[in-house]
Chain A
Amino acid sequence: MVDSDSTETESRGTSISRRRMVKAIGATGAAGLAGCSGGGGGDGGDGGDGTATPMGTSGDDIGGTVTVFSGPQFVDAGFPEVLHEAGVPDSITIEMTRPPQDTGSKQQQLRTAINAEESDPDLVLTDNGWTIPFIVRGDLVNLEEEMDDEFISRVREEGVQSMINTGTHPETGDLYSVPVFPDFPTITYRKDLLREAGYGDSDFDTWRGDPPTWGTFSQIVSEAVDGADVDYGHLWQGNNYAGLACCTFNEFLTSMGGAFFGGRDNLFGPIGDRPVTLDSEKSIDGIEAAVDIIHGTGSAPMDIEGVSPVEVAGWSEPDTKSLFEDGSAVTQRNWTYSIGGAVTAFEGTDMELGVMPLPRGPNGSWHAQGGWIMSMNPYTDNMASAKEVIKAWWEDSVLKYQFDTANFMPPKPELYSYVEQSDTYGPYFEALQYSTENLIPRPTTSVWPNQRSIVAEEVNAALRQEQTPQEAATAMQEQIAAIEEQSG
């Protein structure tokens, strides 16, 4: 029912005084507050986030919870049970967490946690491409000092050497991280299309352990494209992103005999005290080879035909993987996981999968090294338990389980025979083994994040023919030398 008096009052323009209103609000507020004060049912009276806090342990006690900043493949996959079976005491609870999948985001999140001196995560899977800057800053635990000599010796003896290097202090040589799984690229190709072009099983068998040169490879792809109903020849990742600098360009560069800093010995430093050799003749050959496989300009010392579409200069791994799997291309350079993807995609089709190492240049066939290594948070409040987890993770049983469940390669060459027996990867074992024996790490130092963006920028511009290989090399040389000089 409408209150006529009040409407009449309003229409006359009379307003309630501000002070009366405040008084009324004050009274209501008091009542409201009184109502709140006894309230329950909130999300935790202690101001917590509702998560259970683990029983704390001192760093020297075995027990409590060890949090591992791992990845989605490790969550709910039975890893804690397998680690317990491999020797982790039952008093330790192992919690696998799901960090961001993007390596850059994961790096940033770890840096934030360490800067804030967070005790969790206790252990982190760090990308072999950005672990050394953390090591140099003292942001990871020196395992050489904290773990027994026998275990450290075992890791050094049994592990993939180039992976161990990515977790080693470049100056002291101390081990800070233990390899978890290596990753490396291969060439996946369509055997059915190559058969149509006149190649056969004997060729496929040969290429597994003796890859063709870039020139021969481009000719093979060109022949296959000519006689087949496919959109693309050879696919690889040439986009302006970290993967071009660390990996695809690094492969062209090394196979043609070039180097970032004069050779393998200087990859991890010393910054400012190593030669920058990106404008050397052989390094320019590396850029020319990458440009030629797209444009076929004939500038590289090998006769490389243009069999890659110009679009590769804008593509990264997911693009090429999906195109190869749907049958749009003859060959593809991609990481080991793409083999499993292609096996699944080709099932029940006429497409037949082949795998070979990357083509050879004058300096051989080289494969960029990817992969992840286990590191320890320096602010962990549960170091003794975390060490138990690291030790168990190095056991064969855990690494085999890791391969079975997540298709991650073991970081021990002695376990390659296990990979050989796998239904998915076994048929391609010889090519995989060749690749692991010819890995080239990226030059990971504290200034590599800056340098890699320059390399990616300049090489990508050359791939798009916005500048010549010589111009790209000169620009890289100038800028990277300036960084070395400033940071040395």
Chain B
Amino acid sequence: MATEQAGPEVSDGILTRIATWTENLSEQAYAYLLLAPGFLVLLLFAFWPLASAVRMSFFADVITGGNLGEFVGFSNYVALLTNDNALAPAAFVDPSFQTPILEQALFMTVLFAVLSVAGETLLGFLYAMLMRAEYRGRRLVRLLIILPWAIPIVIQGMIFFLLFRPGYGLLTEPLQQIGLFSSLPLNTTFDGFVIVTVADIWKTSAFMALLILAGLESVNQDLYEVADVMGASRWQRFRHITFPLVFPVLMVAMLFRTMGALRVYGIIESTGVGCSTVPSMTCLVTQMMFGSATLYGSAAAVSVLIAIVVGLFITIYLGFIRRSNQNLGFA
């Protein structure tokens, strides 16, 4: 029989009194109490800057100083959406000056997010299967798959810059000769977009693979044994067991990556492609805020629009996740 040993005498200090006070709290109140510090940090470091950005977006740009101008309501948004702000960065894709830069950046960003997340998901799934299978040299394969994820973005950018730099990049001439790229891939919007997307897929597929692998590992092996008894093919096992059970994890992974892809900036700059060749929404914010005449109001308006776009994508994903959980009987 186990006897409970008396613990050390605790002085009746303030923390002990707090602990006693929590004894009388309901479960729900106690949960909120534990969450309070996190919420406080979130308020300070996330909601407050967001609220400041929203507020800033309603004030005029003052190009001759670091101050905000007068209150202008939705004028910054209207000017951006109607291409009425001559101080906004120049149009990149369409030099005819007809397409609003915001439209171009939004198109470019969403296209990048869709392509890169799709590529990362497919490649990540393949990687995950490869990491899960039993064979000689599996450890080395796992290491090689995870390695790009460990490389800092600046080094990654340098690798792709050296591959595609004009004149003496490793792949510049071969790809030009077979007609895939121009001689100046880092300066050409289409080529630059492809380079940035491939660079992003190369790096973050490993992250997707790790999340998917975690999902795969959690699938009950008994289900596969039952499928074997019933004579299911490999494809049927994947379609009816693996994919549906990994789907919720996959959606969460895609949600994370989509949020990251919609904020793309670092990879564009570090590869040497640059914001003026491949504009993204975040590029617009940085160019307005720092690269031009301190267009704080317009930059804030763009950042609010980014937040809205990201919010829309999150809502769509959460809908998918909820539905897949219902199908699996989790909710």
Q: Is the CB of B186 within 8 A of A314?
A: yes
Interface string of A423-435 (1 = CB under 8 A from B): 0000000000000
Q: Is the CB of B16 within 8 A of A458?
A: no
> 8 Å CB contacts to B: which residues of A222-258?
239-241
Chain A residue nearest in CB terms to B23: A19
Q: Is the CB of A449 within 8 A of B16?
A: no
B-chain residues with CB within 8 Å of residue A487 when the two chains form the complex: 63, 86-87, 293
* A111-B87 CB under 8 A given contacts A240-B276, A475-B97: no
Interface string of A1-41 (1 = CB under 8 A from B): 00001101100000000010011111101100100000000
Q: Is the CB of B87 within 8 A of A26?
A: no
Q: Is the CB of B86 within 8 A of A483?
A: yes
* A5-B89 CB under 8 A given contacts A447-B63, A464-B188, A478-B97: no
Chain B residue nearest in CB terms to A107: B290
**Cβ-defined partner of A486 (8 Å) among B8, B86, B166, B183:** B86
Q: Which of A5, A139, A483 is most buried by chain B, counting CB atoms within 10 A of its CB?
A: A483
- The answer, yes or no, to whether A471 is at the interface (CB within 8 Å) is yes
From A69-77, A157-165, A173-181, A305-313, give the one contacting chain B: A305-313
| Consensus secondary structure, chain B interface | loop
Q: Is the CB of A479 within 8 A of B167?
A: no
- The answer, yes or no, to whether A461 is at the interface (CB within 8 Å) is yes
* A464-B66 CB under 8 A given contacts A30-B16, A315-B166, A447-B293: no
- The answer, yes or no, to whether A197 is at the interface (CB within 8 Å) is no
**Cβ-defined partner of B187 (8 Å) among A313, A449, A478:** A313
Nearest CB of chain B from residue A2's CB, rounded to whole Å: 13
Nearest CB of chain B from residue A348's CB, rounded to whole Å: 25
> 8 Å CB contacts to A: which residues of B285-311?
287, 290-294
Q: Is the CB of A457 within 8 A of B10?
A: no
> 8 Å CB contacts to A: which residues of B196-231?
none
Q: Is the CB of B66 within 8 A of A457?
A: no
A-B contact count (CB 8 A): 134
- The answer, yes or no, to whether A319 is at the interface (CB within 8 Å) is yes
Q: Which of A9, A22, A460 is most buried by chain B, counting CB atoms within 10 A of its CB?
A: A22
- The answer, yes or no, to whether B263 is at the interface (CB within 8 Å) is no
Chain B residue nearest in CB terms to A476: B90
- The answer, yes or no, to whether B184 is at the interface (CB within 8 Å) is yes
Q: Is the CB of B87 within 8 A of A486?
A: yes
- Taken together as a complex, chains A and B put the C-alpha atoms of A314 and B164 apart, in Å, by 11
Q: Is the CB of A446 within 8 A of B64?
A: yes
Q: Is the CB of B19 within 8 A of A23?
A: yes
**Cβ-defined partner of B276 (8 Å) among A24, A457, A482:** A457
Q: Which of B23, B65, B294 is most buried by chain A, counting CB atoms within 10 A of its CB?
A: B65
Give the total of A residues in contact with B, Cβ under 8 Å: 58
> 8 Å CB contacts to A: which residues of B6-20?
7-8, 10-11, 13-16, 18-20
Q: Is the CB of A449 within 8 A of B293?
A: yes
Interface string of A129-154 (1 = CB under 8 A from B): 00001001111000000000000000
**Cβ-defined partner of B184 (8 Å) among A22, A311, A453:** A311
- Taken together as a complex, chains A and B put the C-alpha atoms of A33 and B15 apart, in Å, by 10
Nearest CB of chain B from residue A424's CB, rounded to whole Å: 28
Q: Is the CB of B19 within 8 A of A136?
A: no
Nearest CB of chain A from residue B230's CB, rounded to whole Å: 35
Q: Is the CB of A453 within 8 A of B292?
A: yes
- Taken together as a complex, chains A and B put the C-alpha atoms of A317 and B113 apart, in Å, by 34
* A460-B187 CB under 8 A given contacts A315-B166, A453-B291, A479-B97: yes
- Taken together as a complex, chains A and B put the C-alpha atoms of A20 and B7 apart, in Å, by 11
Q: Is the CB of A27 within 8 A of B15?
A: yes
| Consensus secondary structure, chain A interface | helix
- The answer, yes or no, to whether A467 is at the interface (CB within 8 Å) is yes
Chain A residue nearest in CB terms to B92: A457
Q: What band does the interface of chain B fall in when counting residues whose beta carbon is under 8 Å from A?
A: 35 or more
Nearest CB of chain A from residue B149's CB, rounded to whole Å: 28
Q: Is the CB of A319 within 8 A of B277?
A: no
Nearest CB of chain A from residue B250's CB, rounded to whole Å: 33
- Taken together as a complex, chains A and B put the C-alpha atoms of A452 and B238 apart, in Å, by 56
**Cβ-defined partner of A475 (8 Å) among B16, B87, B95, B167:** B95
- The answer, yes or no, to whether A454 is at the interface (CB within 8 Å) is yes
Nearest CB of chain A from residue B189's CB, rounded to whole Å: 9
Q: Is the CB of A19 within 8 A of B293?
A: no
- The answer, yes or no, to whether B2 is at the interface (CB within 8 Å) is yes
- Taken together as a complex, chains A and B put the C-alpha atoms of A315 and B290 apart, in Å, by 24
* A29-B15 CB under 8 A given contacts A19-B22, A446-B63: yes
Chain A residue nearest in CB terms to B11: A30
- The answer, yes or no, to whether B148 is at the interface (CB within 8 Å) is no
* A310-B184 CB under 8 A given contacts A5-B2, A26-B19, A453-B292: yes
- Not counting A27-B16, A30-B11, A239-B187, a sample of 17 additional A-B residue pairs whose C-beta atoms are within 8 angstroms of each other reads A27-B10, A30-B15, A104-B290, A115-B66, A241-B274, A311-B184, A319-B167, A447-B63, A453-B89, A457-B90, A457-B95, A458-B90, A461-B95, A464-B182, A475-B96, A478-B97, A487-B86
A–B Cβ pairs within 8 angstroms, 20 of them = A6-B2, A23-B19, A26-B10, A27-B16, A30-B14, A114-B66, A133-B293, A239-B187, A240-B274, A313-B184, A314-B187, A315-B167, A319-B167, A450-B89, A458-B95, A460-B187, A464-B187, A464-B188, A467-B95, A479-B86
A contact residues vs B (CB 8 Å cutoff): 5-6, 8-9, 19, 22-27, 29-30, 33, 104, 108, 111, 114-115, 133, 136-139, 239-241, 309-311, 313-315, 319, 323, 446-447, 449-450, 453-454, 456-458, 460-461, 464, 466-467, 471, 475, 478-479, 482-483, 485-487
B contact residues vs A (CB 8 Å cutoff): 2, 7-8, 10-11, 13-16, 18-20, 22-23, 63-66, 85-87, 89-90, 92, 95-97, 165-167, 182-184, 186-188, 274, 276-277, 287, 290-294
Sorted nearest first, the 8 A-B pairs with minimum C-beta distance are A314-B166, A482-B86, A26-B19, A5-B2, A311-B167, A27-B10, A26-B15, A311-B166
